[in-house]
Copies of this chain bind each other. A is one copy, B any other.
């Protein structure tokens, strides 16, 4: 630790010959810093903080509450809370029943499974889950993905039993994977899917699911198994003679009904329950219509159906910590053993749950009981549910997932993010859901690497009448200092950008030397690198610094570092860059102090050309 002179800043006229020294943080033993890294990587939310400084019995209680959140809220539960949860639960049940039945078709599963999946998993989540707003159930995209993947292995129509077993097995392993991600605290892997890719992927998946519903809307009997837009469109328009106008009219009518009520509820949020009730109303209306008019004889297909949901996880992963992952995992493991398939917390239904004023996860229990009653007493009704109504329900739900406003926002804020979003969208729509997912992840990572490999650098100038130095592009009124080139590096230095930074810094120096030459100013003497934004450096970065030092020395210039951060000082010291190459006296706490020292040197050199060393340290 160096000594510090607290004499700065003094009056504006007096030369500042004393400055603050740059400190290195207290050296840490390797094991301690490793422990710190592991903690920050896997436990950034410090989940066990509450256990600190507690006695053993209290720790057991807190532990129970941690792993079974029900222990926390159950003792304090009362009738008032239950009233709110009852209303919310019935509301989400009215959404879960028709949607559950509708989504089943997407996964090629029997409809009853959609209802089972809205019964068992919510009960498991009620015990293990910690989010009060989350409504558990299947999702359209999850169902579609499952259907597409399993169909590759087994034909659902030819061997329904094997297909069913495969679906339960897949659900079981999805649960195991989720639970282990939670246990090993690897939930952060989901962070590598950027917001933009999720918007694109969800939009694409919603488009694909909607396109699939054209089969139901037009009452077609044969339909392509492919999901890409070209195959689907070819399939639809190659059999125009098969279109059934009765089915089409009914579909468009219900779709209009669903969309207009949703629009109404969006405009008047108090009437959120109108939109929430419409799907169930549609199913009942549709079924009654079929029952009384025998529409099934006029091209309106009727079927008992199937259900699915697990991808909205992406949409609300903000709520899901690693612990939620564990709860989801358990939910699917238990679910797979009780004839349920992939479930998660769909965003749209959770939003309805929130709007309906749910207070605890009891709303999920209420929903489960409502679904149970449906299973026991109302299943005969679904025998008459027309396919076209279910198609309308799916399309209307899917249109809500196409977040075109988010895409417009991306275009306005960040063109590259928009490009990423569109690539994911078109990957899904023109390729397949799997291709879209791979494209989305690959582009996200590639974007990150490209971002990293080309950090910004800028010339800094002095903000007049201050000791502050800022980017001259951002602050055009800032003034550069003659004889000095002040550069800032805007990102940590790693191997991926070390080569680029070497080229770029060399170019800045070339350009400055040329500019000085043509303008006839004082020749360049010092290159000050502002390291404020360099949070970290690796060994390739250190090599780069050594090369830069050599390049600068060869031109008879002097390299000066301003405000290197703790981690950087530590590594540069260990690699002997500071002591053997740079010289500790060429490191300053601020750009301002570095400039003062350089100007003082310039002045001293002019008056006493023989002087060597760094005189301001000896004053």
Contacts and interface: CB of A to CB of B under 8 A. Distances in A.
A317 B544 CA distance: 13
A269 to B, nearest CB: 19
A413 B542 contact: yes
Contacts of A476: 1, 23, 26
A535 B192 contact: no
A574 B408 CA distance: 12
A440 to B, nearest CB: 12
Nearest to A577: B413
A590 B566 CA distance: 20
Contact of A415 (B30, B188, B444, B566): B30
A547 to B, nearest CB: 7
Interface of A: 1, 4, 6-9, 20, 23-26, 30, 34, 37, 40-41, 44-46, 188, 191-196, 317-318, 409-410, 412-415, 417, 444-445, 448-456, 458, 463-468, 470-471, 473-477, 490-492, 494-500, 503-504, 506-507, 532-536, 538-540, 542-543, 547, 565-567, 569, 571, 574-575, 589-590
Nearest to A42: B454
A552 to B, nearest CB: 16
Contact of A589 (B193, B468, B499, B504): B468
A498 B190 CA distance: 12
Contacts of A194: 494-496, 538-540
A456 B414 contact: no
A451 B3 CA distance: 33
A191 B499 contact: yes
A191 B496 contact: yes
B9 A466 contact: yes
Contacts of A23: 474-476
B492 A490 contact: yes
- Identify the 9 closest CB pairs spanning chains A and B, nearest first: A490-B535, A194-B495, A474-B566, A533-B533, A195-B540, A6-B465, A45-B503, A44-B503, A25-B474
A471 B565 contact: yes
B464 A6 contact: yes
A417 B4 CA distance: 34
B451 A445 contact: no
B566 A473 contact: yes
22 contacts: A8-B465, A9-B9, A23-B474, A25-B473, A34-B415, A37-B454, A41-B454, A44-B504, A191-B496, A191-B497, A192-B496, A195-B538, A410-B539, A414-B538, A417-B538, A445-B445, A448-B494, A451-B492, A456-B565, A458-B566, A467-B467, A474-B566
Given A194-B496, A456-B567, A468-B589, 19 more contacts: A9-B466, A9-B467, A20-B463, A24-B474, A25-B471, A26-B476, A30-B415, A41-B450, A191-B498, A192-B496, A194-B495, A195-B495, A196-B539, A445-B445, A456-B535, A467-B467, A468-B590, A490-B565, A533-B534
Contacts of A569: 474
A454 B185 CA distance: 14
